[in-house]
Chains A and B, each alone.
Chain A
Amino acid sequence: MAPAARLALTGATKSFGAVRALEDASITLFAGEAHALLGENGAGKSTLVKILGGVYRGDAGALTLDGQLVDFAGPAAAQAAGVSIIYQEPSLFADLSVAENIFMGRQPVGTGRRIDRRAMERGARDIFTQLGVQLDASRPARGLSVADQQIVEIAKALSFNARVLVMDEPTAALTSVEVLRLYEVIKTLRARGAAVLFISHRLEEVFACCQRATIMRDGRFVRTAPVEELTIDSIIRSMVGRDLDALFPKTVTERGEVVLEVENLCSALVFRDISFTVHKGEIVALAGLVGAGRTEVARAVFGVDRRSSGTVRVNGKELPNGSPLAAMAAGMALVPEDRRQQGLVMDLGIDQNVALASLSRLSRLGLIRRSSERDLATTWAARLQLKYGRMRNPVSMLSGGNQQKVVLGKWLAREPLLLIIDEPTRGIDVGTKAEVHRILDELVANGMAVLMISSELPEVLGMADRVLVLREGQLIAELTRDEANEQSIMRAATGQTTGVPA
């Protein structure tokens, strides 16, 4: 090998109690390469990243940086040594300014060690210029979109002049334009001689921006190979250790009577004149670019947001405006996009989370019976093939995919007629993704109506019976399963008549 290893981790092992999160894992990063780390949720990627970042100390194993053996005492030591990590969940200080977020603990100081705010904001702006983004360095971090939070995190890493930059799912919340910009940033970093470790569940991205990939399974190293030698199939096989059934199982079902009727739905600012129906036994997908108003339509249908005009009918009965309770009573369920904030009570147990939406059915004389909570949760955990330790464990201990299953279970326990599901598989691994798709397929086969919002075209094409395309708050196209393909959807979503953006 010609280039010297920038960072090498060998034989890393880490246990939490009886759980082996990492066993004899190894990875080598070269200067100037973008390296993908692949594996299902729970394969040990996050643990490995936290060892690199000094958050955990491995039980065994050696870490070398530019040939020198290092042992990080904490995150600060890792950063000082030039290893920067961008974690999955942006970790910003909402009350502090963007600039201070970037330079926390290293604020430029002037005479008498006083913080030089101007120098700090200038430094932040310089980095934003490098990144080609416009962001006000003096504004507080509170209220930043997830994408901009991500950019602040990247700026933070750049400010360290990182020799090794680890990105844990940086693209999960980004739009396609922002993802392209991120590729450019990665290229710049590589040109500077940094090594980039890139974690993503979207395999296309791995092929687009990485040179080599390392695949992990069950906390162990499986293989490292140049991306040219890999195919999506071979990656999935290595990750899962078995052949996946088709990622998008689709049973042909007879479409039944109308369940949901939406007519001329308008909201003051976001969308107007939306009309569509969803029938029993079909999946209708809402597609469109981020910001087209898909989530807002779903929220207005469910009554979380008030509609300014239009009607929503379930089984022919009109729903009152702005009443999620009425929507629930009518048999609707909404699985939100941001499951951590809107779908789960992270500190409560699995059983309590699953039972949360069914409490009225589980209580007698206003008292909730713990045993019936557990019975309900056990039933659904089995049906959804949830992987868990104990029912009482807080859901924050579960992996992302399993958390999504808990949210699903919570709403399915109400046995709804209509399920609205926003980004059903965002941020979850390929294996769990296929399971979620299988569950949806089963539900529809049993007569449920599903309205699905998804940014992933393969998911839309694979699962939906009909596709509604939104652009700038208007319903632009309704495509049948036969008409829908990547071109037709993207054309409608971007408003182009010819040509398709990459």
Chain B
Amino acid sequence: MTAVVERDRIDPGARLLGLLRAREFGIALLIVIVVLVTAINNHNFIKADSIQQLLSGAALIALLGVGETLVIVTRNVDLSVGSVLGLSAYLVGDLFKYHHIPVWSGFAVGIVVGAVCGAVNGFIVTVTRVPSLVVTLGMLYVIRGVLGVIVNGHRIASEAIPNTFSAVGYRSFLGLPWLAIIVALVVVVVGYAMRSYRPSRDFYAIGSNPDAAVLAGVPIGRRVFTAFLISGMLAGLAGALFLALHTQIDNSGGTGYELTVIAAVVVGGVAIFGGSGTVVGAALGALLLNTINQALVASRISAFWNQAIAGALLLAAIAFDRWLLLRNTRKLQAAEGAHRDL
């Protein structure tokens, strides 16, 4: 009995070891290495404004990555996030230009637009049970098409955007860009919730073994719907932030973001077939991709390398996960065998 009580206390050494082994730590380390190596040749790379640029540049992809993580963990995928971002950004800009809505409501409108899109995704996926890959691919085009009709060749220029709104895009607080602060808040809150509340553990259960989730009484439809809803809302918020950052918008905002987001999420350790991964990892994945991107620019290496490297990193991440899984399984089974022999 004493032994049991003792095992209750988490050994700080084991805790540290667990932290060091965590995927998030590895990615953070990789980011630091990339920054330092680049800084050897280009000292400007570790100056404050360069670091700020790294953070705000990764912020939008990281924010989309948070929502995408929730969806992927449930063994689904949301390909419509780029289009939702574009739609939300344009509608917010449109309301500023023609209806002069108050600045704070810009964010609210963005979130509501995203929520509607996410709800449509979630509804179709859970009710028709069509694979989400197909549903959200369809929504990617539908939303982009609707946006084209609304925009009708116009664009919203920066004069129409209130200064206090666009300040979010360039101002910083205590040396940190507001953009990064907002996204970091979302990451922390959602990350904590994903660890510590019953409903969010259901997401992992669904992605890990859908059949067992049914038997465990997990309300699968409701949870998957929620994942898409949140993904949509965050994409909508990202749209508002996109507008604040760029202060102008046409019908192409966010085009192609969905693949960058998925790459970031997978690099960040979220299993593409669901069941495991964290939003912190996803956010760090986004930061790593952006850091490499900027490092190439700072090192005056052709931007064409950027995509190749991002792709190679994605493949490396998947290969690494696969290797880790096989190794761990083998190790656990070996331990089991030894245990059995006793």
- Using a CB–CB distance below 8 Å, which chain A residues touch chain B? 53, 55, 74-77, 79, 85, 87, 91-96, 100, 104-107, 109, 113-115, 118, 121-122, 125, 129, 134, 139, 142-145, 148, 291
Contacts and interface: CB of A to CB of B under 8 A. Distances in A.
Contact of A143 (B197, B202, B329): B329
B207 to A, nearest CB: 8
Contact of A95 (B217, B276, B337, B340): B276
Contact of B332 (A87, A134, A144): A144
Contacts of B212: 91-93
B43 interface: no
Contacts of A79: 217
B99 interface: no
A59 B243 CA distance: 57
**3 A-B pairs with the lowest CB-CB distances in the bound complex, closest first:** A76-B217, A143-B332, A91-B212
A291 B334 CA distance: 12
Contact of A114 (B196, B216, B332): B196
Interface string B203-217: 011011101111111
A432 to B, nearest CB: 25
Contacts of B202: 105
Contact of A105 (B217, B332, B333): B217
Given A91-B211, A92-B209, A96-B275, 17 more contacts: A75-B215, A91-B212, A91-B215, A93-B205, A94-B209, A95-B275, A105-B216, A105-B217, A105-B218, A107-B198, A118-B10, A129-B4, A139-B332, A142-B328, A143-B333, A143-B336, A145-B336
Contacts of A148: 336
A395 B340 CA distance: 34
23 contacts: A55-B214, A92-B212, A93-B205, A93-B208, A93-B212, A93-B275, A96-B205, A100-B201, A104-B205, A104-B218, A105-B198, A105-B205, A114-B196, A114-B197, A115-B201, A118-B8, A125-B7, A134-B339, A142-B328, A143-B329, A144-B332, A145-B333, A145-B340
**Secondary structure class of chain A's binding surface, majority of residues:** loop
B217 A96 contact: no
Contacts of B113: none
A109 B336 contact: no
B267 interface: no
Interface centre among A92, A93, A118, A121 (most CB of B within 10 A): A93
A87 B337 CA distance: 25
Interface residues of B, number: 37
Interface in B34-78: none
A238 to B, nearest CB: 31
B201 to A, nearest CB: 7
B235 interface: no
Given A95-B275, A96-B205, A115-B197, A75 B216 contact: yes
A96 B325 CA distance: 14
B63 to A, nearest CB: 24
Given A104-B201, A104-B218, A105-B198, A291 B337 contact: yes
B119 interface: no
B262 interface: no
Contacts of B79: none
Given A105-B198, A122-B8, A93 B215 contact: no
Nearest to B337: A291
Contacts of A115: 195-198, 201
Nearest to A148: B336
B271 interface: yes
Contacts of B213: 93
Contacts of A96: 201, 204-205, 208, 275
Contacts of A129: 4
Contact of A104 (B216, B271, B333): B216
Interface in B222-273: 271
Nearest to B198: A107
Contact of B215 (A55, A139, A143): A55
Contacts of A145: 333, 336, 340
Nearest to A143: B332
B152 to A, nearest CB: 47
A100 B212 CA distance: 13
Contacts of B332: 139, 142-144
B333 A93 contact: no
B304 to A, nearest CB: 37
A79 B212 CA distance: 14
Contacts of A55: 214-215
A86 to B, nearest CB: 10
A91 B336 CA distance: 20
A115 B198 CA distance: 7
A475 to B, nearest CB: 19
Nearest to B334: A269
A142 B198 contact: no
B193 to A, nearest CB: 10
Interface string B300-341: 000000000000000000000000010011011100110111
Contacts of A113: 197-198
Contacts of A143: 328-329, 331-333, 336
Contacts of B7: 125
Contacts of A105: 198, 202, 205, 216-218
A290 to B, nearest CB: 9
B205 A94 contact: no
B198 A144 contact: no
A65 B28 CA distance: 56
B87 to A, nearest CB: 34
